[in-house]
Amino acid sequence: MNPSLARSEVPVWNPRNYLNSPETGLRSWLLTQDHKRIGVMFLVATTIAFAIGGIFALLIRIELLTPGPTIMSAQTYNRMFTLHGVVMIFLFMIPAIPSGFGNFLVPLMIGAKDVAFPRLNLLSFYVYLAGAVIALFGMVQGGADTGWTFYTPYSTTTITKVVPVLLGAFILGFSSILTGLNFIVTTHTMRAPGLTWTRLPLFVWSIYATSVIQILATPVLGMSLLLVAVEHAFGWGIFDPARGGDPVLFQHFFWFYSHPAVYIMVLPAMAVISEVVCAFSRKNIFGYKAVAYSSLGIAFVGFFTWGHHMFVSGQSAFNGGVFGVLSMFVGIFTAIKVFNWTATLYKGSILFATPFAYFVGFLFFLVFGGMTGIALATVSLDVHWHDTYFIVAHFHFIMVGATLMAFLAALHYWFPKIAGKRLPEGWGLVAAVMIILGFNFTFIPQFLLGNEGMPRRYFSYPEKFWPLNVASTAGASVLAMGLVIVLVYTLVALKWGPVAGANPWNSRGFEWNTPSPPPPENYETTPVYTHGPHEYDLPGVETPPAATPEPKHAS
């Protein structure tokens, strides 16, 4: 245990908080318009989705333990990897950080009492639930076997239940659009006095950039999924050449959304990391404008890179080159952030607490995920790697690794604000080490499998791929155990965790200016901002004075 966490004063539990006022009943939660409650409901729902998707992932890894059939048939396996992708992407990674943590934190950070459209916010949650239920219904009915990419004409000719899964994803898109719209209006109109754009916390900047992508790209996904559903249900020739359609058109539509969707997942992760790195190194961010504008840069250039998913689809070499170079520009914006975060540590005061451990994991996955991404954008290497396990490992590193690290960093950093309780530091570090190592042991063998030439979505494989597959499954089990530990101590801490107090991390992020848990109206009087967040060069800006005893059951 770090002795520096010990305090002389006793931390205070805010008696009138959003958890118990104005009411506590189930009804008051289901009909709430409080952004904090909606954020918490999103966090619970997305965590459940993450658990379901994780179980699918483990079943896939067990099936791949042997070259032949292990525990399931090819048909079941094909459904498993489809559902794993659909659940993890549409139900967990896209909504988890923006709709969960974003909802909770954006108004707190900008000194507002709520988001701009509280009722729309609640609607977004119910639209999410409806989409999830329809997608789950499709799964119970047998599930789709197309992969989450729904490539035509396979998806329009398969006999499995594609339509409910497509409709589920279609409806989930509306939730994403509504939340994005809400954040854009909130950021523009509800900033407290003195909070200029250059004082805006970087979390808000990144969430803002995410929202722009959400409302611009998601309609394209909705449109293309609907076209697939129509062709599947009524047999109209849109994508199937046997009926007069164009088989590659769908890939253009799909990736026009799904490539920016990668940034819908990664930008919120970068949002979290920008806060965590400042709070735990007690430093102002190095290059505020570079970090803020690079988020917008990623959002913009991300729209012009979709063709890099189609280097071997028969597009011209010229197209390949253009999409290759544009993809590298996205890499540049990411590189700017990586260098600035690292430079932020310079002359800081670094506390190696659990959220910071996840920052280190995030940096590792972002650097290697990003560099493999640039390697793919050199085009000729992509021809070998396309649709192999190299791609699987690459997007798990950059998308899942980064998003998961940020999600867990956010959970550990803001849990004291959300629940008013502390998580155990010792167990937190143990779980972080298990998760980061487990993740590496799962996906580094997959990079090598891709080099060796193993295509993705293989139910059975030649025996020479066996050893690396066993290694990957072993890593996945360590990763799963780490995640279970996090789940257990989080649930325990909800009830028995030590009281955190308003600002246990001594952070100068604006959201810590409220008591923990925050009162329903966030701030009794609208705050007036005179400086940016995370300025640690002047004494005594922390308000109210932080105070917390050493957590009792930590380690």
Q: How far apart are CA 35 and CA 116, in angstroms?
A: 10
Cβ closer to another protein: 5 or 264?
5
- Output the smallest distance, CB 464 to another protein, in A: 9
Cβ closer to another protein: 25 or 540?
540
Cβ closer to another protein: 101 or 356?
356
Q: How far apart are CA 206 and CA 212, in angstroms?
A: 10
| Positions in 189-228 near another protein (CB under 8 A) | none
- Output the smallest distance, CB 126 to another protein, in A: 34
- Output the smallest distance, CB 225 to another protein, in A: 18
- Output the smallest distance, CB 77 to another protein, in A: 8
- Output the smallest distance, CB 159 to another protein, in A: 7
- Output the smallest distance, CB 543 to another protein, in A: 13
- Output the smallest distance, CB 23 to another protein, in A: 37
- Nearest Cα to 186, choosing from 282, 105, 275, 252? 105
Interface with another protein includes 248 (CB under 8 A)?
Answer: yes
Count Cβ atoms below 10 Å from residue 161 Cβ, excluding itself. 19
DSSP symbol at 464: G
- Output the smallest distance, CB 233 to another protein, in A: 18
Interface with another protein includes 549 (CB under 8 A)?
Answer: no
| Positions in 140-169 near another protein (CB under 8 A) | 145-147, 151, 153-154, 157-159
- Output the smallest distance, CB 540 to another protein, in A: 9
Cβ closer to another protein: 102 or 416?
416
Cβ closer to another protein: 387 or 521?
387
- Output the smallest distance, CB 271 to another protein, in A: 20
287: left (phi over 0), alpha (psi -120 to 50) or beta: left
Residues 517/417, Cβ–Cβ less than 8 Å = yes
Q: How far apart are CA 235 and CA 98, in angstroms?
A: 37
Residues 185/116, Cβ–Cβ less than 8 Å = yes
The tokens describing 482, both together, are 């780490």
- Output the smallest distance, CB 155 to another protein, in A: 9
| Positions in 289-328 near another protein (CB under 8 A) | 290, 311-314, 316-317, 320-321, 324-325, 328
| Positions in 503-542 near another protein (CB under 8 A) | 506, 535-539, 542
DSSP string, 222-284: HHHHHHHHHHHHH---SS-GGGT--TTHHHHHHHHHHHHHHHHHHHHHHHHHHHHHHHHHT--
| Near another protein by CB under 8 A: residue from 36, 232, 259, 282 | 282
The two most distant CA atoms of the chain are separated, in Å, by: 76
| Near another protein by CB under 8 A: residue from 230, 456, 477, 519 | 456
Cβ closer to another protein: 123 or 360?
360
Residue with tokens 């952030």: 337
Nearest-5° Cα angle at 162, 64 to 453: 30
Q: How far apart are CA 184 and CA 190, in angstroms?
A: 10
Count Cβ atoms below 10 Å from residue 512 Cβ, excluding itself. 25
Cβ closer to another protein: 63 or 114?
63
Cβ closer to another protein: 360 or 484?
360
# residues contacting another protein (CB under 8 A): 98
3-state secondary structure of 480: helix
The tokens describing 536, both together, are 């640690």
- Nearest Cα to 340, choosing from 281, 275, 286? 286
- Output the smallest distance, CB 488 to another protein, in A: 28
Q: Write the interaction track for another protein spanning residues 47-76; mark x where CB under 8 A is met and - where it is not.
A: --------------------xxx---xxx-
Cβ closer to another protein: 472 or 490?
472
The per-residue b/e assignment along 237-267, b for 16 or more CB within 10 angstroms, e otherwise, is ebbbeeeebebeebbbbbbbbbbbbbbbbbb
Backbone angles phi, psi at 455, to 5 degrees: -70, 155
Q: How far apart are CA 187 and CA 523, in angstroms?
A: 17
- Output the smallest distance, CB 278 to another protein, in A: 10
| Near another protein by CB under 8 A: residue from 118, 142, 426, 455 | 455
3-state secondary structure of 421: strand
Residues 181/215, Cβ–Cβ less than 8 Å = yes
- Nearest Cα to 53, choosing from 81, 77, 80, 84? 84
- Please identify, among the stretches 204-212, 223-231, 282-290, 414-422, the one whose residues bind another protein according to the rule CB under 8 A: 282-290
Cβ closer to another protein: 101 or 390?
390
Q: Write the interaction track for another protein spanning residues 98-127; mark x where CB under 8 A is met and - where it is not.
A: ------------------------------
Residues 262/395, Cβ–Cβ less than 8 Å = yes
Q: How far apart are CA 517 and CA 20, in angstroms?
A: 10
- Output the smallest distance, CB 202 to another protein, in A: 15
CA distances from 169 to 133, 142, 401, 440 (A): 10, 16, 23, 30
| Near another protein by CB under 8 A: residue from 453, 474, 485, 550 | 453
Residue with tokens 């993890």: 88
| Near another protein by CB under 8 A: residue from 439, 458, 512, 529 | 458
Interface with another protein includes 466 (CB under 8 A)?
Answer: no
| Positions in 330-389 near another protein (CB under 8 A) | 331-332, 335-336, 338-340, 342-343, 345-352, 360, 363-364, 367-368, 371, 374-375, 377-381, 383-384, 386-388
Cβ closer to another protein: 51 or 437?
437
Cβ closer to another protein: 12 or 185?
12
Q: How far apart are CA 528 and CA 542, in angstroms?
A: 15
Interface with another protein includes 15 (CB under 8 A)?
Answer: no
The tokens describing 530, both together, are 């005179």
